[in-house]
Amino acid sequence: MSQRIAVLPGDGIGTEVTREAVALLELVAARRSLDLDLWHLDLGADRFLRDGTTLPTAVFEEIRDTCDAILLGALGDPRVPSNDHARDILFGFRFGLDLYANVRPVRCLDDRLSPLKHHGAADIDLVVFRENTEGVYVNVGGQVRRGTPDEIAINEDINTRKGVERILRAAFEHAKLHGKKRVHMADKSNAMKHAHELWLRAFREVAREYPDIEPVHVYVDALCLYMVQDPSNIEVVVTNNLFGDIVTDLGAALQGGLGMAGSANLHPGRRCAMFEPVHGSAPPLAGKDLANPFAASLTVGMMLSHLGHPELETLIEHCVRDCVVALECTKDVGGALGTRAAAAALRARVAVRLG
Ligand SMILES: NC(=O)c1ccc[n+]([C@@H]2O[C@H](COP(=O)([O-])OP(=O)(O)OC[C@H]3O[C@@H](n4cnc5c(N)ncnc54)[C@H](O)[C@@H]3O)[C@@H](O)[C@H]2O)c1
């Protein structure tokens, strides 16, 4: 039976890296006889500026009911300063499909990419489970006395027992499945007494269900310190929406930059999931053939794993590593190739490995 994938290239460099991601996907599908049905959607800043469309309900429902995966480029365009289209589409899927686990691997593929003096690729291999449906991103709040000296702006931080518990459990389940020894939970319970006391209490309770895994509680500021000083002891991190967003950019820096970081948005156990590189639409790079396509390539690997082919994720990652080692890559990671040429070099290596 065919598997259906909705493709939204997004804006800026999103369109460029998604074009290459699709080419990689098509190559793998042809060589491995995967029956993939790609549904290309015209949604993003161009469409929004043309007719005001963001994410029509009928399209959302068809994706929800018929698709196995969504492949999304980054959203964000200086011509849409309100960012309305990006929020509608991105949060439309994350919240609408209840994709509560934003899974962001932080794996450095080559010593040359590590910015740390004393730590190389072997020391940087962790995964962040970022809560993806709650926190300060739920858009509960408002502004009062706007534009006056007495202005008040509020974004509420929403933390439910159910929401906190399920992301904690997802992180422990991942650790158990992959033979990891410990799970770090990062919060700010010293300062945010109410919401983060819930995180800490739930963490201790959920941890009891996994006696073979060491639960490590850290304040998020200390986590940032440890990630830079010595990331080798960190295997699985679980944290809230805002902190997860921030620590994974720090994580991307440990991988060689945002051009190397892929991600998945999952509701474990459910069919439809969304895959996107961690990076944004990088307007200054757009249209210049400068964007690194490897974050989107690694993201395709994660999607193939979700579709039942984990060996293809490993294969793609090996080929990305080989490209980086051979300097067949873009400038941001030390090469001299453009987006198209780097992606072509990767496809050539993938084709050889697939036979
Ligand atoms: N999930 C998403 O759709 C998403 C995520 C982050 C930012 N954004 C949006 O993207 C726009 C730009 O945001 P930003 O500048 O903060 O973040 P960004 O990720 O676009 O860029 C940050 C930095 O990383 C570099 N970079 C990013 N991706 C790269 C790649 N593939 N290859 C080489 N270098 C790369 C950029 O040049 C820039 O220096 C904004 O509109 C923002 O809202 C969207």
Tell which of 225, 255, 285 closes a domain: 255
Share of the chain above pLDDT 70, in %: 100
Which sign does the torsion angle of CA 299, 300, 305, 310 carry? negative
Give the integer Cα–Cα distance in Å for 260 and 279.
9
Same domain, 126 and 204: yes
> Is the same domain home to 270 and 182?
no
Query: What is the residue with the minimal CA distance to atom 7 of ligand 1?
Result: 280
Tell me which of 238, 255, 272 is where a domain ends.
255
258 Cα–ligand 1 center, Å: 8
Ligand 1 mutation pick, 8, 250, 255, 281, max ligand atoms within 8 A of CB: 281
Instruction: Taking residues 213-237, report their average pLDDT.
Output: 98
Answer for the pair 264, 306: CB distance below 8 angstroms, yes or no: yes
Report which ligand 1 atom has the smallest distance to the Cα of 72: 3
Same domain, 36 and 79: yes
pLDDT for 17: 98
Q: Distance between CA 85 and CA 87 in Å, rounded?
A: 6
Q: Residue 86 CA: which ligand 1 atom is closest?
A: 3
For residue 106, is it within any domain?
no
Residue 87 has pLDDT above 90, yes or no: yes
CA distance 73 to 60: 17
Residue 1 has pLDDT above 90, yes or no: no
Question: What is the domain range of residue 193?
Answer: 115-255
Query: Of 305, 249, 306, 299, whose CA–CA distance to 273 is shortest?
Result: 306
For 124, list phi and psi in degrees, rounded to 5. -115, 90
State which ligand 1 atom lies nearest to the alpha carbon of 291. Answer: 32
pLDDT (0 to 100) of residue 153? 97
pLDDT in tens, 293-306: 999 999 999 999 99
Residue with CA at minimum distance from ligand 1 atom 41: 76
Residues with CB under 6 A from ligand 1: 13, 17, 74-76, 83, 90, 257-259, 276, 279-283, 285, 291-292, 295, 332
For residues 307 and 327, what is the distance between their CA atoms, to the nearest angstrom? 30
Same domain, 205 and 303: no
Residue 209 and residue 321 share a domain: no
pLDDT of residue 302: 98
Q: Model confidence over 309-329: pLDDT tens digits?
A: 999 999 999 999 999 999 999
Q: Which atom from ligand 1 is nearest to the alpha carbon of 74? A: 3
Residue 27 pLDDT grade (very low, low, confident, very high; cuts 50, 70, 90): very high
Question: How many domains are there within the chain?
Answer: 2
